[in-house]
Amino acid sequence: MNRERGHELCVEIGRRVMSQAPEGWREVELDRLQLGTSHITTITFLMADGTRQTGHIDGLDDLYLGLKVAEYVPSEGTWFRHVLEYSLHGSSYNAMSPTFTRDSPFGEGRDLPSAAYVEELSRFPRRREFVSPWMLARWPDDLAVPFVAEPSLSFMAARMVGRDDGADVVAFGLAEEEDGTGRALIFMMSVDEPDDDYCIVREDQAGTTYGGVIECGLSSGRLRLCFTQQAAEELDVAPVVAIDLCVDDDGVELVRRSLREILQSGPADQRPRLLKL
């Protein structure tokens, strides 16, 4: 999800509306139902005399598609209904954009074709638990639903932590079992090439990525790692991984010291934007 880009697009939609709004308007509501690129848009102006007037605004389709992309959360989806409210003299806007509801937002006479449902889940794939029942009800019988596969790691309890300060590489790892087996994450940084990206490797080299940690925090014995979409896919982990540290105080301190050092190595643009260790 790119909140900054989403805000920019909402502001630009507001500019388009204000440049084409009818004279005498005071407030406006844009109610957009969209799956893929298919949509139903209802624009209602509240006029200065208290009456309501429906209208049309040109040039919104690309902006709304960009808004779906900006607000897409990998494996969880993006909005299918987006409501925006602007006022003539206001400098801000109100927005509502649910990504999951049990009941369909498409009332009688306001549904979209089955192809729109297919396009939505193809462009913005979701895990099974994030696909609303009403979406599945309209899915074509002869097509398999492209659910996103569950990542192999979203949570684990680490019973072993260890560090190796080699001549060329510093390596730090967390493993599920006390003997170092089971699921594991290993963080490495180069000693000789301090400008190289840090590296993260899964157990048995099941996945490897370079950089990619957006946030890292440790609180109440739980380590929380947030990854970029690319890093999560390359490691086959969830975008957010929680690790309970089942180690003694010295082990927890080793986690703090090692991750602080490794994740702040390499290029500045690869370092976490939030580091609370």
Strand order of the β-sheet with 237-245 is 153-158, 237-245, 222-227, 213-219, 274-276
Say yes or no: 111 and 188 in one domain: no
Say yes or no: 49 and 116 in one domain: yes
Q: How many whole angstroms separate alpha carbon 25 and alpha carbon 21?
A: 7
- When the pLDDT of each residue in the chain is averaged and rounded to a whole number, the result is 92
What average pLDDT does range 247-260 have in this prediction? 96
CATH number at residue 54: 3.30.500.20
Domain range for 182: 153-276
Tell me if 164 is assigned to some domain: yes
Q: What is the pLDDT of residue 194?
A: 82
Q: What is the pLDDT of residue 8?
A: 95
pTM of the full structure: 0.60
Say yes or no: 122 and 92 in one domain: yes
Give yes or no for residue 170 having a pLDDT over 80.
yes
Tell me if 144 is assigned to some domain: no
Tell me if 193 is assigned to some domain: yes
Say yes or no: 227 and 102 in one domain: no
What average pLDDT does range 106-117 have in this prediction? 84
CB–CB of 45/20 below 8 Å? no
SS3 label, residue 189: strand
What average pLDDT does range 154-174 have in this prediction? 95
Tell me if 133 is assigned to some domain: yes
* End-to-end Cα separation, the chain, in angstroms: 24
Say yes or no: 272 and 186 in one domain: yes
What the block records as the tokens of 51 is 């009456």
Tens digits of residue pLDDT in 218-253? 999 999 999 998 999 899 898 899 999 999 999 999
